[in-house]
Each structure stands twice: as structure tokens, then as C-alpha cells.
Structure 1
Amino acid sequence: MTFLRESSIVFRRQLRMNLRNPAWVIIGMLQPVLYLLLFGPLLKDVVKTFGYDNAYTFFVPGLLVQLGIFGAFFAGFSLIGEWREGVIEAERVTPASRTALLMGRLWRDLTQLLVQAIILVALGYLMGMRASWQGAVLGVVLTLLIGGACAASSNALALTTKSEDVMAPVINMVMMPVLLLSGILLPMTIGPKWLLDVSDVMPTRHVVDAVRGLFTGGAGSELAWGTGWAIVLCALGVWWGTATFRRENA
């Protein structure tokens, strides 16, 4: 109970900070929405060659995972500001669990991601997406898992680098191959075999396939692989973030 109370205190403080300055929430939401509005219509005829009869049923799941990865990866930038202002140092002298300091922030990031995911899915339905609500709900759950992995890793990276100038190029270097090799915008099956083989080792590719299968009702082995990788990545991210917080606040 003490851990939950400490985490909730950090969560409420972080949430109040976000509500006072919602710029990051809005900016994080704009990119997938613009992709949906401007790129989605271009896929209406193209997706038929991939075996899909609805562009948005194909496209929205990929954008969901993109939102979970890209949006959550920038969560650590606010932590650098807190470290620079002495907030982390002030938290160091409290008896709060070091893990709770991470989890409270992680709950904030996942709450933000959940709101953004709901808006994106609702907009997809308004634009003609055909997907069962059960599949959409499970797809959002997988998105939260991968988002939790990225948010925890981002916080760990922020406390490791302590510099936006270092953190930004590292994130860009990681995110470019993730975007290109995960099948977020186009399925990897249309590429050459060597590219497909490379994408097979990308865990996020399996997560995208799982979420897309849930939306289209065709999830099979992809669901097991995607769920497994999402859980593993989330566990590793939380472990790394917790270890970093403990080291920084010992």
C-alpha cells in the first residue's frame, strides 16, 4: 500500500504539470493524426494489393504502435528539466521508494498515451475504419505495453545522458530503423526478401502485426509473438528505468 500511495503522489503531481502545459500531449498527438488525415486516403486503392479492403483498418493499427513508440520515447525530456531544476535531488532526500518515483511518472505517460490512443481510434472509426471494438481494445492494450517499455527506457536514458543534445540524436538513430522496418506505414511483405529477413528480428514488427491482426480479426500466431515481445520489452524497460532511478537516487 505504501508503494501505491507513493506512486500515486508522484503520478498526481506529474499529471497536474501536464494539465498546466498540455503542449507535449497535443504535439505528440498531431503527428499520427496528420498521417491519418493526409496519408490514409492515399492508401485506399493501394491496400487492396496487400489483401485489405479498408485502408484505415490497415493504417490505424500501425499508427497506434507508432504513437506508443514515438510519443513515449520523448517522455524523458521532461525528466531532464526536472533534474536540472533540482526536483530529482529533492526527491532523493524523501523516504519514497525509488521504484515509485519511476512508476508514478510511468502512470502519467501511460494515461497520456491512453487518451491519445482513444482519440486516434475514434477518429479512425469516423473516417470509415471497420474493426471490432474488442480487437480495438486489445490493440490499445498492446500499444500501452510497448509504450510503457519506451517511456521507461526514455526516463532511464534521460537520467543517463542528462542532456537533450545527447538524447535527441540517440532517439532519432533508434527510431528511424524502427519506423522503416516495423511495417507501420507499409507491410514488409511487399519488400525484397533480405529486407523482410531484417525486419523479422525487429520486435516492434511483430507487435505491429499483432495489433493489425486484432483490428482485422485475423490474429493468429502473430498475436502470440506480438504479445510476447510487448511483455518482454515492457519488463526490460521497467527494469532498466528502475535500476537507473535507484542508482541516481541512492
Structure 2
Amino acid sequence: MIIDSAVAIAQRRVGRRGEQYFAGRTGAVIERSIIAFKSSNWIVVLTGFVEPVLFLFAFGYGIGELIGTVAPGQGPEVTYAMYIAPGLLATSAMNGAIYDSTWNVFFKIKHGRLYQSMLATSLGTLDVALGEIIWALFRGLIYSIGFMAIVTPLGLVTSWWAIAAIPAAVIIAFAFSAVGMAITSYMKTYQQMDLINVVLLPMFLFSGSFYPITVFPEWIQAVIQALPLWHAIELVRGLMLGNITAGLLTHVLYFMVMILIGTALTTKRLTALFMK
């Protein structure tokens, strides 16, 4: 029955545009990830959730007592904890997606040889790419929901628009996971993989998570405004603080472009690696 099903799927793909890339079985890849996740180490996931919470209490309530209020750029001044909470939520979405779409994918490519096995079936490279990317964004979503569940009872959410921060976190995680997997597919050594952290840490520190970027010269501000995490923080901060402007759509468009480019590059790279 399994063989017949695989043959039937392959036959239905014949003549379709992109038949060599997409079989419509992305769900099978996600299902495999869910099964593997059930037997994985939950401590790894838990640490990714705890990290932004520790930052919130250490900086928001520790250093925040010394700082007082901060002007978020639009709207009235807010407490320092309220200012950094959106940045930490956006960072949680990014980290959750990046962890799964980089190191986990690298192991599967270089050591697990998982994708070779998948692509020996009726799955196409786009099925694999979408399945892995969607699964990675799911981890980012979990981190974001967990963090929101912490900050809401603390009184750091003052607008009903904050509900939209969760869908925004999904878009952010989707974009980072797509680009993360695309970049990882070009990595060949663990030393090269370390470059990912070299990029992520400065982006986290300088993208407006803890202070307005207006403290920098204009040319540095322009560089920061090109970074994806800055767009993520501005999008989530605008929603959580209720500062709704048309400019938020610009951030959404930025991530849509990231998603399209990342998914296309990942599919192309998987095809080049495993469909020779």
C-alpha cells in the first residue's frame, strides 16, 4: 500500500509545473519533526524560553529602576521594562527559528543524511524546505507565546493590539527560519556555523532591544535599520504599545521578501546538493 501510494503521488506530479520540486507533502516532513521532537531533550527548548525572561527581569526591573521611563519614538513614555519587552519577544521568535533552522539542519545535512532519505521518496525539495522552515517557526512561536504569557500578568501589555504580536512573531520566525536554513545549506564546517552567532549577538545588542537607536550617528542608524531584527522589534513594539501606523506594514513587507528569498534559495540549494 505504501509503495502504491508513493507511485500514485509521483504519477499525479507528472506534467505539473515544478513537479520535480513540490509533491504537496510538506505535512509529512512536519509530522516527522513532531515525532522526533517527542523524544528530544526538553531542556534545550526550555533554556531558549528562559533566556529572554532572565533578560527582562535583570534589565527591565534591575537596570530599569535606575533608568525610569523611555520614549519609544511614538506615543507616550513607558517604563523601561515595557520598552524592552517587545524587543525580547521579537528576539525570542528569531532565536527559536534560528536554532532549529541552522544547527539542527546542519546536522541533518552533514551527519544525519536525513534529506537524502527524504528525497529518495516522492517528496520534492520544496516539500522538505517548507516542512523544515515551518517546523522551525513553530519553535519561535512557542517561545513568543510563552514570553507573552509572562509579560501580560506583569502589566507590561497595555493595548489590545498586543494580541497581533503573536501572528507578527510567526511572520518573524518564518522569515528567520527561511533565511537561516538557506544560509546553513552553504555551510561546510562547524567553524563556519559559528559565524551565525557572530552575526546574531551584535544584531541583538544594537537593533534597539535595550535602547533607541537614535543614540547612534545617522549613518549607523541607517545600517541598523537594514537589519531584520530591527524591523522585528519595531513591528512588535508598535503592536504591544498600541502605536499603530502605516509604517508597520513596511516591516511586514520586509519579512515577506525574506520568506520568499529564503525559501527559494533553500529549495535551490537542496536541489543542487541532493538531486544531482
Shorter-chain TM range is: 0.7 to 0.9
User: In the alignment, what sits opposite 1:25?
Assistant: 45
User: In the alignment, what sits opposite 1:138?
Assistant: 164
Q: Does 1:189 align with 2:214?
A: yes
Q: Tell me whether 237-246 or 44-53 shows the greater mean CA deviation.
A: 44-53
Question: How far apart in 2 are the matches of 1:243 and 1:177?
Answer: 29
Superposition deviation, residue 16 in structure 1: 1.9
Q: Does 1:238 align with 2:259?
A: no
- The match for 2:147 among 94, 116, 120 is 120
User: In the alignment, what sits opposite 1:86?
Assistant: 113
Question: How far apart in 2 are the matches of 1:44 and 1:222?
Answer: 31
The 1:189–1:221 alpha-carbon spacing in structure 2 relative to 1, beyond 3 Å, is farther
Superposition deviation, residue 203 in structure 1: 4.0
Q: Tell me whether 206-215 or 43-52 shows the greater mean CA deviation.
A: 43-52
% identical equivalent positions: 23
> TM-score w.r.t. structure 2 length?
0.80
User: In the alignment, what sits opposite 1:48?
Assistant: 69
- The match for 1:218 among 239, 243, 260 is 243
Superposition deviation, residue 227 in structure 1: 1.5
Superposition deviation, residue 122 in structure 1: 0.9
Which runs of 5 or more structure 2 residues have no equivalent in the other structure? 1-8, 10-21
Question: How far apart in 1 are the matches of 2:47 and 2:225?
Answer: 31
Which runs of 5 or more structure 1 residues have no equivalent in the other structure? none
User: In the alignment, what sits opposite 1:9?
Assistant: 28
Structure 1 runs, 4 residues or longer, greater than 6 Å off: none
User: In the alignment, what sits opposite 1:153?
Assistant: 179
Question: How far apart in 1 are the matches of 2:156 and 2:261?
Answer: 33
Q: Tell me whether 192-201 or 237-246 shows the greater mean CA deviation.
A: 192-201
> TM-score w.r.t. structure 1 length?
0.88
The 1:129–1:44 alpha-carbon spacing in structure 2 relative to 1, beyond 3 Å, is farther
* 1:6 alignment partner AA: R
* 1:225 alignment partner AA: T
Question: How far apart in 1 are the matches of 2:232 and 2:207?
Answer: 8
Question: How far apart in 1 are the matches of 2:164 and 2:24?
Answer: 28
How many equivalent residue pairs?
A: 247
Question: How far apart in 1 are the matches of 2:82 and 2:113?
Answer: 46
Q: State the superposition RMSD in angstroms.
A: 2.2
Question: How far apart in 2 are the matches of 1:44 and 1:210?
Answer: 26
Q: Structure 1 or 2: larger helix share?
A: 1
* 1:68 alignment partner AA: A
